């Protein structure tokens, strides 16, 4: 179901950007909604812009799909566009000299419960803009104004709907829409002017996916030729273990146990495998092999997979499954067992994998959270993780061959 999504996005009317607003300390955001959705304070490192993107929606019905809908119709291998959807977008533009080739750009995909300003509020934008990267982020499926035309969701309401086992169409095809959003945003970056003047780079584009954003990133990378690489942080794969082990933000394990009248579920339960069959099109594991060997016409990507230990959201098994499926190699110590993932021959890792497109850096690294912190958030909080991220993004631009480095010397 996801192989034809990019083609459908390319065939749809072009995404549009409107109501572009500079957060100058006195102007209201077009995405005003209180709390972290408001314009931030003026920052000396970057100019913050808010806007509304009009993107194609492939899900039937009207959000939040109270009584029906949330599924997609496939015709000729492509999903059918149902409508245009308004999506809140933030754009952080460095306060440095604009490169001749346009702003190198990081497209950020947030986790369930995040929002279009997550990379700003979590401090990621400060670090990336200091290195000359623009950062673009947007509200994910059923987040923010996408939840309902009438109101913003209450805390936890989006997660409850996205994880609702009684809406099987939405449970499956929310991933189709999430992947479509990423393809549409890449198309928008190629066609729209950057706020403040100039363009976004046509070559220096990187995905940064966190949690659910990382899981959507795997099938997105499989079919998107116009990005160079990705950071995939704390994502998981394997529907069976995802269903029975997930405890947050929704306790899926308990719900599945009740639904199947079995409080001691194991991975062999027939009911779980029936759900695996239904949800298989959205399982990132099925697209993992394309990270190293993508379809013809799509170049292999540089990938840093962040494996945060003691993660309260993404269970260990699904995180390990995704690392195995993508065939990345481990750099750094094996803090907990990670079977079937080989270690890089030399560290730090640079171009450790040979693909048909040349050398690519494709690694996973384990990070223990700071004392009392959640391993799900190491990309925002943990010092070694931040150091490796900085090096990945810096060397991606500065390396003579454009090959990033990961890991300490």
pLDDT per residue over 65-97, tens digit each? 998 999 999 999 999 999 999 999 999 999 999
Q: Which residues of the chain have pLDDT under 50?
A: none
Q: Which residues pair with 105 in a beta bridge?
A: 134, 205
pLDDT, residue 409, reads 54
For β-strands 134-138 and 16-22, DSSP reports them as unpaired
Q: Which residues pair with 22 in a beta bridge?
A: 49
Among 57, 55, 60, CA closest to 89: 55
pLDDT, residue 293, reads 97
Say if CB 53 and CB 9 are below 8 A apart.
Answer: no
pLDDT, residue 150, reads 86
The CATH fold assigned to 5-406 is: Rossmann fold (3.40.50)
Each residue of 365-382: pLDDT tens digit?
999 999 999 999 999 999
How far apart are alpha carbons 107 and 137 in whole angstroms?
A: 6
pLDDT, residue 260, reads 82
Among 170, 144, 176, CA closest to 158: 144
Residue ranges covered by each domain of the chain: 5-406
Whether omega for the bond prior to residue 138 falls within 30 degrees of 0, making it cis, is: no
pLDDT, residue 258, reads 81
List, as one string, the DSSP characters of 200-242.
EEEEEEEEEEETHHHHHHHHHHHH-TT--EEEEES----HHHH
- Where do the H-state alpha helices sit in 4-76? 5-11
User: DSSP secondary-structure letter at 134?
Assistant: E
């Amino acid at each position: 179901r996801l192989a034809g999504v990019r083609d459908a996005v390319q065939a749809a009317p072009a995404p549009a950007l409107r109501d572009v607003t500079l957060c100058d300390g006195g102007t209201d955001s077009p995405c005003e909604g209180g709390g972290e959705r408001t314009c931030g304070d003026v920052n000396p490192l970057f100019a913050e812009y808010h806007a509304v993107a009009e993107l194609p929606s492939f899900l039937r019905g009207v959000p939040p799909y109270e009584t029906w809908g949330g599924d997609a119709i496939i015709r000729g291998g492509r999903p059918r566009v149902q409508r245009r959807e308004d999506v809140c977008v933030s754009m952080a533009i460095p306060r440095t000299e604009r490169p001749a080739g346009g702003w190198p750009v990081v497209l950020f995909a947030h986790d369930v419960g995040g929002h279009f300003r997550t990379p700003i509020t979590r401090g990621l934008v400060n670090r990336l803009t200091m290195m000359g990267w623009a950062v673009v982020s947007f509200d994910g499926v059923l987040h923010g104004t996408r939840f309902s035309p009438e109101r913003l969701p209450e805390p936890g309401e989006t997660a409850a709907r996205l994880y609702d086992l009684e809406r099987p169409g939405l449970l499956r095809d929310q991933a189709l829409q999430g992947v479509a959003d990423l393809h549409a945003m890449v198309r928008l970056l190629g066609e729209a002017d950057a706020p403040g003047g100039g363009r976004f780079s046509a070559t220096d584009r990187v995905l940064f996916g966190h949690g659910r954003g990382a899981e959507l990133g795997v099938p997105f990378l499989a079919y998107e030729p116009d990005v160079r690489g990705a950071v995939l942080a704390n994502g998981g794969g394997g529907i069976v273990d995802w269903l029975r082990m997930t405890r947050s933000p929704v306790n899926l394990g308990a719900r599945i146990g009740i639904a199947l009248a079995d409080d001691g579920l194991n991975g062999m339960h027939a009911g779980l495998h029936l759900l695996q069959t239904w949800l298989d099109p959205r399982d990132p594991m099925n697209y993992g092999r394309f990270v190293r060997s993508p379809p013809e016409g799509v170049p292999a990507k540089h990938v840093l997979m962040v494996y945060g230990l003691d993660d309260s959201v993404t269970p260990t098994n699904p995180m390990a499954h995704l690392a195995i499926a993508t065939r990345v190699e481990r750099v750094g110590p094996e803090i907990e067992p990670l079977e079937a993932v080989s270690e890089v021959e030399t560290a730090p890792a640079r171009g450790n994998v040979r693909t048909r497109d040349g050398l690519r850096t494709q690694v996973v690294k384990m990070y223990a959270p700071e004392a009392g912190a959640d391993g799900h958030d190491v990309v925002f909080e943990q010092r070694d993780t931040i150091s490796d991220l900085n090096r990945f993004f810096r060397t991606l631009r500065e390396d003579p061959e454009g090959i990033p480095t990961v890991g300490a010397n």
